[in-house]
């Protein structure tokens, strides 16, 4: 039985309503949390396999990046300051057509290393060559929700779906504790109804969720209204896609009726403020969604439209953009922003019973953040400091499934130099065409 203890940190369990715990102890056994509370409240293990001394730090649930395309790290900075449609059609898709499985493996390895160093312990990955991306995540030690990507306008869309269903069935049979498969139709505007219905049937048969982009741009909504006489959300509802669990990225352009549908169907909304700002897509109505009881989590989207996978930064953007948009500094406060990046993102992915808080029985996915840097002093308010001042580089240890994967700011068991060499060479080759 593998045992781990984290001693001395202030604990932010992110359990709703719980206060920070000074001088806390987290004990984990076989990948699961057995205790998270005051040091005096648990006898601990006689001899834990590993102990992390974390005085001067805060320990919180590992951050959950509920929407990204991990291997797009290879296209970071490749095509910036463009409209979404030409960005996708002229730059991203033609370049992605040249990707190999090995490119995706190294791109996903780069993204996994970047996220682990930033305290992100779980990510939802919609991307090509999902087997290669998943293999990288498993080897890097991070938790992953792979969904592949289905582009309905390709001649091979039906074949892609067959392969995706085989892949998810195989993953379910293997039952890796850090892999949570999903199906990933790209978006309503890139997938015909016939394909989306088959996706819904396949997801229901396998008992897995669907991950999709939804209502990202005003153009998408206008085109849906012209083609179907209804919004993208109403359309997915009508064709039956929302009868299985769905988590939907962006959800920027929503009518009140759309918000009702998302609430009634328990759709998990993944807010991606960095990407939405960079592509000038618009602002997801997060305060309104939360007010209506919709589950909302946070995602970075791909590194080509962000341009990093730093979820603390994303939480800061979430806290800031709604204040500016609503001209109200009280909306999406620091506590809410941190909840979006942890508990909310886990719930949006359907993993609310697995990760997202520090509670006995949940998987031991933990971020330990050093609070001793000048930009975090004097330390008036822990949660405010995390959201408005902390940086990915303040993360000192990261634990996934009870295993220490970043120790003292170094990724454990990986040749990071080789990851960077491969990623640079492959990124250059892709950009040159």
Q: Point out which residues bind Zn ion (CB under 5 A).
A: 301
CA angle 206, 96, 246 (to 5 degrees): 30
| Shortest Å, Cβ 325 to Zn ion | 21
Nearer to Zn ion by Cβ, of 154 and 205: the residue is 154
Looking at the Cβ atoms of 5 and 301, the one nearer to Zn ion is 301
Q: How far is CA 101 from CA 59, 161, 332, in A?
A: 36, 18, 40
Do residues 141 and 181 lie in contact, with contact meaning Cβ atoms separated by under 8 Å? no
Q: Using the minimum distance from each CB to Zn ion, give the nearer residue, 4 or 66.
A: 66
> Which alpha helices (H) appear in 248-371, and where do they start and end?
256-264, 273-278, 286-291, 311-326, 334-339, 345-348
CB of 198 or CB of 211, closer to Zn ion: 211
Structure-block tokens of residue 229? 């006489």
Whether the Cβ atoms of residue 305 and residue 101 lie closer than 8 Å to each other: no
Question: Least distance (Å) from Zn ion to the CB of residue 186?
Answer: 9
Position of minimal CB gap to Zn ion: 301
- 24 or 302, CB closer to Zn ion? 302
Q: How far is the CB of 129 from Zn ion (least distance, A)?
A: 16
Residue 124 has phi, psi (to 5 degrees) of: -100, 125
CB 301 within 8 A of CB 274: yes
Angle formed by the axes of helices 130-140 and 157-174, to 10°? 30
In the complex, least distance from residue 136 CB atom to Zn ion, rounded to whole angstroms: 18
Question: Could you tell me whether strands 57-61 and 366-370 are parallel, antiparallel, or unpaired per DSSP bridges?
Answer: antiparallel
| Shortest CB 249 distance to Zn ion, Å | 5
CA distance linking residue 41 with residue 321, whole number of Å = 40
Shortest spacing between CB 190 and Zn ion, in angstroms: 12
Work out the burial of residue 312: count CB atoms within 10 Å of its CB; fewer than 13 is exposed, 13-18 middle, 19 or more buried.
Answer: buried
66 vs 366 by CB, closer to Zn ion: 66
300/357 with CB nearer Zn ion = 300
Instruction: Report, in Å, the least distance between residue 75 CB and Zn ion.
Output: 12
């Amino acid at each position: 039985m593998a045992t781990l203890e984290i001693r001395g940190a202030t604990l932010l369990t992110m359990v709703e309503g719980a206060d920070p715990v000074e001088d806390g102890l987290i004990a984990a056994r076989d990948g699961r949390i057995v205790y998270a509370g005051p040091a005096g409240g648990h006898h601990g293990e006689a001899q834990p396999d590993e102990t992390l001394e974390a005085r001067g730090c805060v320990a919180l649930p590992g951050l959950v990046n509920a929407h990204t395309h991990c291997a797009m790290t290879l296209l970071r900075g490749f095509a910036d300051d463009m409209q979404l449609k030409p960005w996708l059609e002229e730059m991203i898709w033609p370049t992605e057509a040249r990707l190999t499985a090995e490119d995706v493996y190294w791109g996903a390895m780069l993204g996994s290393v970047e996220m682990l160093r930033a305290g992100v312990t779980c990510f939802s990955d919609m991307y090509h060559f999902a087997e290669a991306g998943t293999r990288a995540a498993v080897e890097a030690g991070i938790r992953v929700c792979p969904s592949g990507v289905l582009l309905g306008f390709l001649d091979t869309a039906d074949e892609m779906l067959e392969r995706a269903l085989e892949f998810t069935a195989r993953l379910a049979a293997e039952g890796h504790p850090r892999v949570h498969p999903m199906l990933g139709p790209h978006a309503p505007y890139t997938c015909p109804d016939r394909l989306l219905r088959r996706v819904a049937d396949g997801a229901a048969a396998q008992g897995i969720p669907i991950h999709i982009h939804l209502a990202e741009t005003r153009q998408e909504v206008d085109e849906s209204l012209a083609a179907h006489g209804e919004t993208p959300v109403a359309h997915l509802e009508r064709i039956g896609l929302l009868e299985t669990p769905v988590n939907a990225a962006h959800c920027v352009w929503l009518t009140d009726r759309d918000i009702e549908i998302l609430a009634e169907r328990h759709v998990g909304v993944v807010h991606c403020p960095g990407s939405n700002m960079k592509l000038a897509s618009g602002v997801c109505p997060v305060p309104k969604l939360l007010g209506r009881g919709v589950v909302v989590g946070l995602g970075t989207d791909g590194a080509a439209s962000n341009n990093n996978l730093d979820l603390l930064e994303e939480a800061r953007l979430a806290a800031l953009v709604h204040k500016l948009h609503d001209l109200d500094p009280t909306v999406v406060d620091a506590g809410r922003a941190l909840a979006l990046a942890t508990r909310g993102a886990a719930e949006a992915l359907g993993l609310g019973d697995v990760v997202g808080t520090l509670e006995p029985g949940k998987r031991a996915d933990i971020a330990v953040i050093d609070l001793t840097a000048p930009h975090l002093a004097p330390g008036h308010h822990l949660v405010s400091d995390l959201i408005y001042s902390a940086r990915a580089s303040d993360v000192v240890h990261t634990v996934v499934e009870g295993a220490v994967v970043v120790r003292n700011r170094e990724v454990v068991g990986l040749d990071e130099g080789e990851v960077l060499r491969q990623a640079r060479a492959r990124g250059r080759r892709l950009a040159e065409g």
